[in-house]
Amino acid sequence: MASPTFTVAALVDELTAITCPVDRAVEVSRLAGQFGNLPPALAKVRRDALQEARDTGRKVGWLADQVRLTPGRIYQLTITRRGRKAGPAASHRANGGVQTATPPQPPKEA
């Protein structure tokens, strides 16, 4: 028996029709379990749904339980989109180097 054919665009349309952002994120996570890796368009639907849920006051821990992700993963998917400043780890990756908290020492006199 042949597997049903689908397009990512059709899935995106179907998922974005779900009005509750939590239900939408749960459904995308269910699909992620089936696909393994999400196509970028579906990953965006999940990020947007999680962001919408966070914007309406849902707590990260509760969302993590609902979509079966870790709270850390929820933060990864939503923190930079909430307009918050990136933390030290993110700025380390963005700048490509390590920033130290100690001031530079003056050169030693010979």
pLDDT of residue 110: 64
pLDDT of residue 108: 78
pLDDT of residue 17: 93
pLDDT of residue 70: 93
H helical segments located in the chain: 8-16, 21-35, 40-55, 60-67, 71-78, 88-95
Quick check: pTM over 0.85? Answer: no
Listed by start position, the domains of the chain span: 22-83
**How far apart are the C-alpha atoms of 9 and 15, rounded to whole Å?**
10
Coil/strand/helix, residue 75: helix
Under-70 pLDDT residues of the chain: 1-6, 80-104, 110
pLDDT of residue 106: 75
Q: First and final CA of the chain: distance in angstroms? A: 83
